[in-house]
Amino acid sequence: MRVGVLTGGGDCPGLNAVIRAVVRQGVKTHGFEFVGFRDGWKGPLEGLTMELGIKECRGILPRGGTILGSSRTNPFKIDDGVERIQANLASSGVDALVAIGGEDTLGVATKLADLGVHVVGVPKTIDNDLSGTDFTFGFDTAVNIATEAIDRLHTTAESHHRVLVVEVMGRHAGWIALHSGIAGGASAVLIPEQPFDIEAVCAHVETRFQTQYAPIIVVSEGAVPAEGGDMTVTSGELDAFGHVRLGGIGDRLAREIEQRTGKEARAVVLGHIQRGGTPTAFDRWLATRFGLQAIDAVADGDFGKMVALRGTDIIRVPLSEGTAQLKLVSPKEYAEAAVFFG
Ligand code: F6P
């Protein structure tokens, strides 16, 4: 069998570990041949391919990014997009596809599977917001990077008696903010799921200063104030899946805290630092296991499925189930963090 592999959406530490495991298991156990499609769905859409075998996968396990490249191309938004993909898969002799991506890439995979394309999905996102799997790889790396940043910011904030606002990624879900905020001992964690009260945030800032300790506020890029108004920040630009580009809430929040409390406040935006570089051991382990199981699903002809982590087991769930809804932070989980605010 000839199998195509692609990585779509925002890159994520661990993508190369999945590719390596898919290829290694596919060649050694199942005798498959592989072709790499470049830049997400753009690859099969435009026939952009690269060689992919054990040789191409040597040394990539600890490398961030993806050797295949990525994009946010949506073939369903392009005239004849689906027909072009089907034609290119046929002309490159590809019998099945392994699509590694988040809600958007796997959303396309779901629709293609419904149209009869042989596809198996592997969930990926640093945001950890895909339902159907306990964790996505890349998340642990992002949380560790954010936690290290918070640890470092504590000492400088304390020396200068400043407030430091740390903006982390998380468009719809506050998992990175929640985990790194708890691990880093934040004075407040602000997430998209729970609109925040700026007065309460300022009260946490004051309390922290009263105990001679500098406040660190961790805020997801998608967090919004309860009162609405002009603290909601977007650039207005939309990607091919209709998502606005976020960013700027950290700066806006720092200014507001400074005005309301009279304490100096600065913002740090971690941005793509959270997505780049080498994956943690956990993410390499999870990505490797996802890759092994995904190619086994291909070998079983079990298409239209996504691999998922449940407890310590890797299982297969229908692609449609894995992408049906976002996994959000519950009020109960948020309340656990709130004990430490102030
Ligand atoms: O979906 C993953 C993610 O990193 C989000 O947290 C973030 O909003 C988005 O991607 C940023 O995407 P881009 O790098 O395309 O601006």
With a cut of 70, say whether residue 229 has pLDDT above it. no
Higher pLDDT, 151 or 228: 151
Average pLDDT over residues 256-274: 97
Distance 12 CA to ligand 1 centre (A): 10
pTM score, whole prediction:
0.94
Q: How confident is the model at residue 236 (pLDDT cuts 50, 70, 90)?
A: low
Residue closest via CA to ligand 1's atom 14 equals 10
What pLDDT shows up at residue 225?
92
What pLDDT shows up at residue 228?
66
If asked whether residues 247 and 308 sit together in one domain, one would say no
Tokens of 269: 């935006």
Q: How confident is the model at residue 242 (pLDDT cuts 50, 70, 90)?
A: confident
Angstrom CA distances, 291 to 167, 243, 304, stand at 32, 28, 16
Question: How would you classify the pairing of strands 313-318 and 305-310?
Answer: antiparallel
**Look-up of token digits 């394309």:** 117
**Last residue of one domain, picked from the residues 248, 276, 304:** 276
Q: How confident is the model at residue 277 (pLDDT cuts 50, 70, 90)?
A: very high
Q: How confident is the model at residue 149 (pLDDT cuts 50, 70, 90)?
A: very high
Atom of ligand 1 nearest to the CA of 170: 6
Residue closest via CA to ligand 1's atom 12 equals 10
If asked whether residues 267 and 316 sit together in one domain, one would say no
Range of the domain at 130: 2-137+279-323
Higher pLDDT, 181 or 321: 181
What pLDDT shows up at residue 240?
79
If asked whether residues 6 and 131 sit together in one domain, one would say yes
Question: How would you classify the pairing of strands 119-123 and 163-168?
Answer: unpaired
Average pLDDT over residues 25-43: 98
Atom of ligand 1 nearest to the CA of 275: 4
Q: Report the mean per-residue pLDDT for the chain.
A: 95
If asked whether residues 231 and 290 sit together in one domain, one would say no
Tokens of 186: 């934040």
What pLDDT shows up at residue 311?
97
**Which of 33-42, 143-152, 240-249 is predicted least confidently?**
240-249
If asked whether residues 165 and 102 sit together in one domain, one would say no
Tokens of 34: 């592989």
In a 3-state reduction of DSSP, which class is residue 17?
helix
337 in a structural domain? no
If asked whether residues 47 and 106 sit together in one domain, one would say yes
Backbone angles phi, psi at 307, to 5 degrees: -80, 150
Distance 11 CA to ligand 1 centre (A): 8
268 in a structural domain? yes
- Mutation probe of ligand 1 site: the residue of 171, 235, 237 with most atoms within 8 A of C-beta: 171
- The span from the CA of 188 to the CA of 177, in Å, is 10
Question: How would you classify the pairing of strands 49-51 and 119-123?
Answer: unpaired
Tokens of 336: 């656990």
pLDDT in tens, 85-120: 999 999 999 999 999 999 999 999 999 999 999 999
Over 273-296, what HEC string results?
A: HHCCCCCCHHHHHHHHHHHHHHHH
334 in a structural domain? no
Backbone angles phi, psi at 37, to 5 degrees: -100, 130
333 in a structural domain? no
- Mutation probe of ligand 1 site: the residue of 104, 145, 169, 238 with most atoms within 8 A of C-beta: 169
Q: Residue 263, exposed/middle/buried by CB under 10 A (0-12, 13-18, 19+)?
A: middle
If asked whether residues 96 and 216 sit together in one domain, one would say no
Beta-strand runs (E) in the chain: 2-7, 33-37, 49-51, 96-101, 119-123, 163-168, 188-190, 216-220, 234-238, 244-246, 265-269, 305-310, 313-318
> What are 331's strand-pairing partners?
none
If asked whether residues 214 and 262 sit together in one domain, one would say yes
**Catalytic residue status for 79:** no
Residues with Cβ within 6 A of ligand 1? Answer: 10, 102, 125-127, 169-171, 221, 245-246, 275
Catalytic residue chosen out of the listed positions 11, 104, 127, 296: 127
* pLDDT above 90: percentage of residues in the chain: 90
The amino acid sitting at 34 is F
pLDDT in tens, 123-147: 999 999 998 999 999 999 999 999 9
Q: How confident is the model at residue 245 (pLDDT cuts 50, 70, 90)?
A: confident
Look at the chain and report how many structural domains it folds into: 2
